[in-house]
Copies of this chain bind each other. A is one copy, B any other.
Amino acid sequence: MAKGLPKRSEDFSKWYNELVGMADLAENSGVRGCMVIKPYGYAIWEKMQAQLDKRFKETGHQNAYFPLFVPKSLFEAEEKNAEGFAKECAVVTHYRLKTDPNDPAKLVVDPSAKLEEELIVRPTSEAIIWNTYKGWIQSYRDLPILINQWANVVRWEMRTRLFLRTAEFLWQEGHTAHATKQEALDETAKMLDVYAEFTEDFMAMPVIKGYKTENERFAGADETYCIEALMQDGKALQAGTSHFLGQNFAKAFDVKFTSKEGKQEYVWATSWGVSTRLMGALIMTHSDDKGLVLPPNLAPNQVVIVPIYKSDEQLEEISEVVKTLMSDLKSKGVSVKFDNRTTYRPGAKFAQHELQGVPVRLAIGPKDLENGTVELARRDTFTKEVVNMDAIVDKVVGLMTEIQNDLHQKALNFRDNHITEVETFEEFKDVLETKTGFISAHWDGTPETEDKIKELTKATIRCIPMNNKQEDGKCVFTGNPSKQRVLFAKAY
């Protein structure tokens, strides 16, 4: 089954695309740039959703739902935001089809059903939400508003890749309103922490927290905070962003409140989001040439049990033992699947579960029954061992934590080994092409320099790390004075 999966070292991009298909995560659809998320892929996304949702609620947020469509007049209200998304908008212009006068089996757009005002399919929801908040906010007593939405959004991307860049994607978007600037800044930082803790603890994916430069900021934000991860091909991936929107949307939609002191003031805003892009990040962080590797926290099945048998009788005996084992594992919170399909041989099952990244595989055959043992195989390390049946539950439970931690540590080592400080632009280009990864370099702080470096190398400033060490230096490109290093990389 794993036949045909290219090696990462030979063609990382092809490896990724084929892995997504072969592991049954997603596929391209009949609609340009839109994907179908298949049940196995969706089950992983559901685990991400459930965990994030829990963390949002623990930090005081509530879910709500706002319209899919944004009328053009609302869309254009916040100028920078509108400008940032105008070039990639799906636009609804009509609300009816009619029978094609030339072919009764076909339908055509009914020209008499043209909308007076076009509707934009939301690329993000600040406009529609701030237009709504206007009605909800009169006094400081109505603040803060702490709302999250799980939704689909559409950005008309020309070059798409499953999970990483699709015309339609699933995400959550938090939109909060505050009485003071400081409270909004605190919220922006808090939600970045929520994202960072989630990616580190749950996805076993190390991230660097930082600030975006002006060039890379969200359209309409005063400040964008981000978490940046590093993929195995040495390219960076922006895994989540949290925006301090200042009073930009409050001003665009005229949202004022009466303060405790009785003054009319504009409301302060944040927004923050992560998307199905995290699925791509997960895959490119941990997987290997054999297929998907999943941290136990996100595995739809943490354990799979494969029976090895020649007769129905043997299968029955094995099933008896498995029944108890499964109930013991489940009672310890381990999700487990008994792969007793009779239409596939053990070898094919092994290959499939390897490809789909099931963290632990147990195999039980007649000899195991005799000896009271189980064969245990770890997906991440490929190590196998024979374990006594009475020790297997504890062993597996322990492995759930161990594998989770090992994957994190491995990714952390890789990431840390791929942050390289450089002093010259020659070095910069050399590291970018040969070693790859993050390049820590001095930068003179101007968008022009950033643009030129991007033009010459395709590398962008991924972030100015939080709590960055302040040191005097010279810009790697212009030689102008600089106070700190920033992180450059080629990025997804």
Contact = CB atoms under 8 A, between A and B. Distances in A.
9 contacts: A29-B66, A29-B67, A29-B132, A34-B69, A37-B65, A68-B121, A69-B168, A90-B119, A141-B343
Contact of A68 (B63, B65, B76, B154): B154
A27 B67 CA distance: 11
Contacts of A120: 97
Interface stretch (A39-47, A351-359, A445-453): A39-47
A420 interface: no
Nearest 5 CB-CB pairings of A with B: A34-B67, A39-B62, A37-B65, A86-B97, A95-B156
A371 B71 CA distance: 60
Contacts of A43: 62-63
A30 B64 contact: no
Interface in A129-176: 131-132, 135, 141, 147, 151-152, 154, 156, 168, 170
Interface of A: 27, 29-31, 34-39, 42-43, 45-46, 62-72, 74-76, 79, 82, 86-99, 105-107, 109, 118-121, 128, 131-132, 135, 141, 147, 151-152, 154, 156, 168, 170, 343
Q: How many copies does the complex hold?
A: 2
Contact of A107 (B67, B75, B92, B135): B75
B105 A96 contact: no
A339 to B, nearest CB: 15
A402 B89 CA distance: 52
Contacts of A105: 76, 79
A35 B92 CA distance: 18
Given A34-B69, A39-B64, A107-B72, A92 B92 contact: yes
B96 A93 contact: no
A85 B39 CA distance: 27
